[in-house]
Structure 1
Amino acid sequence: MATATLLLPARSRFAAAALPDDVSAALGRAEQADVAAGEREQLQRHFTVAAPDWPVAALTRQLDVGDAAGASWLRADPAYVVPDMQGARMMGHGDTLRPDAQDSAALLPALQALFAESGFTFDAPSPSRWYLRLPIDLALPRFAAPDEVLGDDLFAHLPDGDAGRRWRALLTEAQVVLHTHPWNQQRLAAGKQPINSLWFWGPGVMPVAVSTRHAQVRSRDALLRGLAQAAGVAVDGEQTVDALVDLRQLRSLQQLGTEAIPPLLAALKRGELQTLVLDFEDGRQFTLDRRQRWKFWKKPRQLHDA
């Protein structure tokens, strides 16, 4: 059966405006379901990972370099932290800081020396994804994902307890190194935010197995591409049957209603596609089937209808 699934952001990201008539009519006829909300929960609907927690660092490391086996990995990504009355807040992370290879070349030597003192190897195969290679049996605390931390009190998300003490100290030392590094003055002069902190997250080893029901994944997101690679399915290329298409970057209702959905509705009408699933991060799903075209008595539906 030819199917297509669109990964979409939460419906609240879109303006409460009217969809085109053909799209609202199709939503009115569609089967609706409410499932778990959240970014990770959305991905878990499409991938099964044989690991207690998703080892994001190992999955993206394998995608970036191909050497994830045999070690434990921790993302140590560039971050921008701003002090405030309560402590500090993370206001930028990874790609949002627009890091480039020059940033890595300038900042890594000082950071590599710092982490080498603890016996860890630090590198940056991608300007926005920096890694620590750790002993495979090293016990680690829980680390918060950056999306949990952005805009919030940094200290509320630091690893806690005795297991987290070492990492809190390393983060502080890294912040001192970056805060005093002259390269950040050049970033400021270029109108960019400084890279004055790191953020540790996504620890673990490569999972024993990753599986998905999809035959192809189309996405620019490193984690999603890493999951697809680990599952052994095609990444990008021409769209085939059973494709998972990542459109979480969409912010315009016009893009969704006039560019993303209509070509797929046309494919349903022609019989080239049997099923189209719209999977929103807030947990609302619409399943559109070409047989639903006979449900002409169903009322049109707008995206934000309860």
Structure 2
Amino acid sequence: MNRACVLLPEWKRCVASAQVANGTLSRWLARGNRLESSPAGIEQAIRDLFEFGGRAFPAAALSRQVDVGDAAGSLWLRADPAHLRADMTTARMLACGELGLSASETGELAKALKPLFGDAGFEFDARLPNRWYLRAAMAAELPQCATPDEAMGDDLKLHLPAGASGRRWRQLYNDAQIILHNHAVNERRAARGAVTVNSLWFWGAGALPAWVRSPLTKVVSPSLEICALAALAGIPVHEAEGDAIGTLPQRNSEAVCLIDLANLRGDALEQGGLQPLDRALRRGGFGAVELFFASGERYLCRAAHRYRFWRRPRGLQP
């Protein structure tokens, strides 16, 4: 039986959109089956679909493999450009990665930061404006930090590496802020009202997995990490939007398709992702849809469940 495994945003984000909360998901969840929940986090949802070694989720190595193709043989850490705002007691991250940097601005900032990390034994690489990397030897100790999504808007003291083992990284974090604060690139950006790059955010530490296994047969995802895992597992990655989703499986096959909608919100999620999936489910393109919310909730909705008319949709509840 064809099955679609669908990655979705956190439950609270779906509830926050009236169109999503009262649309396709409301009907599916009313008539489908609730499954045992998993720990929260999109990384856990990905681990439920891909099997690979190691306890950490090596986001940096996976995205590096897609970006450059040289991730094997080293440890990697993302050191993405970020914008913080300080108040009386702490600092909060307001943006990370996509700050609108030009290639020339990226090059100037990288030139200033490379000696700091080189002296600490790491290779700093900022060839892309939105994804910056540190390469380390396989024996190096790298910090396990929150993802930008997890840290965004929160008190950053709660997410910085703790204890004696984290002291080195807290110092590098502070030293990088000093370099960036005084840099001419930021002076020019501030003068024209652009967001400044006043910090880095370390996250995604790990090595490229030596092996990856998965029951999936096709993948549709904009995520670099998912695409890298699919490539390592020998699974084809497809581009599909809207009604093209319904053409992914073939009738009477055993396809297991991953459809990643986790970054969509509001109308884009309902009309561009869920409604085309619902049409595919109704006409038999998929026999079942398994839902993986980033907050850990899991549901199974079979095509035949639409006949459970006695289960009335009541909208998603907070």
TM-score (norm 2): 0.86
Q: What's the CA shift string for 1:91-143, capped at 9, x where partnerless? A: 21112x23342331121111112222223211123221111111111123433
| Other structure's SS at 1:163 match | helix
1:299 aligned residue: 311
| In 2: Cα distance, 1:113 partner to 1:302 partner | 58
Deviation at 1:191, TM superposition (A): 3.1
Percent identity over the alignment? 40
Question: Equivalents in 2 of 1:91, 1:261: separation in Å?
Answer: 30
* Structure 1 residue corresponding to 2:81, chosen from 69, 78, 87: 78
For residues 104 and 264 of structure 1, do their structure 2 counterparts lie closer, same or farther at Cα, with a shift above 3 Å needed?
same
CA separation in 2, counterparts of 1:302 and 1:41?
A: 28
Could you tell me whether the CA contact under 8 Å between 2:9 and 2:293 is conserved in 1? Answer: yes
Unaligned runs of 5+ in 2: 241-247, 250-254
Cα distance 1:85–1:244, how it changes in 2: closer, same or farther (>3 A)? same
Report the equivalent of 2:117: 115
Q: Conserved in 2, the CA contact under 8 Å of 1:35 and 1:284? A: yes
1:250 alignment partner in structure 2: 264
Q: Deviations over 1:43-79 (max 9, x none)?
A: 2222222112112111111111111111111111111
Distance across 2 between alignment mates of 1:165 and 1:283: 32
Aligned residue in 2 for 1:288? 301
| Distance change >3 Å, CA 26–CA 77, structure 1 → 2 | closer
Structure 1 residues 58, 189: CA separation in 2 closer, same or farther (over 3 Å shift)?
same
Q: CA deviation at 1:289?
A: 1.5
CA shift digits 1:150-192 (9 cap, x unpaired):
2122223221222222211111111111100010122223432
TM-superposed CA distance for 1:10, in Å, is 1.8
Q: Distance in 2 between matches of 1:25 and 1:117?
A: 57
Change over 3 Å in CA distance of 1:125–1:244 after alignment to 2: farther
Q: How many residues align?
A: 302
Query: More deviation in 69-78 or 29-38?
Result: 29-38
For 1:211 and 1:191, the matched residues in 2 are separated by: 47
Q: Does 1:134 align with 2:147?
A: no
Work out whether 1:180 is the aligned partner of 2:192: no
Structure 1: which 5+ residue stretches go unaligned?
A: none
- Find 1:48's aligned residue among 29, 48, 51: 51
1:1-306 correspondence to structure 2 within 5 Å:
1-13=1-13, 14-16=16-18, 19-20=22-23, 24-36=26-38, 37-95=40-98, 97-237=99-239, 239-240=248-249, 241-252=255-266, 254-296=267-309, 298-305=310-317
Is the contact made by 2:77 and 2:142 (CA closer than 8 Å) also made in structure 1? no
- Is the contact made by 2:91 and 2:156 (CA closer than 8 Å) also made in structure 1? yes
Q: 1:291 to 1:192 in 2, by over 3 A?
A: same
SS at match of 1:98: coil
CA distance in 2, matches of 1:216, 1:255: 22
Report how far residue 246 of structure 1 moved: 1.3
Q: Please report the RMSD computed on the Cα atoms of aligned residues, expressed in angstroms.
A: 2.3
CA deviations over 1:247-273 (Å, ceiling 9, x no partner): 122221x44444422332222232222
In 2: Cα distance, 1:145 partner to 1:31 partner: 31
Q: Is the 8 A contact 1:51 1:208 kept in 2?
A: no
Distance 1:82 1:259, change over 3 A: closer
Whole-angstrom CA distance in 1 between matches of 2:262 and 2:304: 27
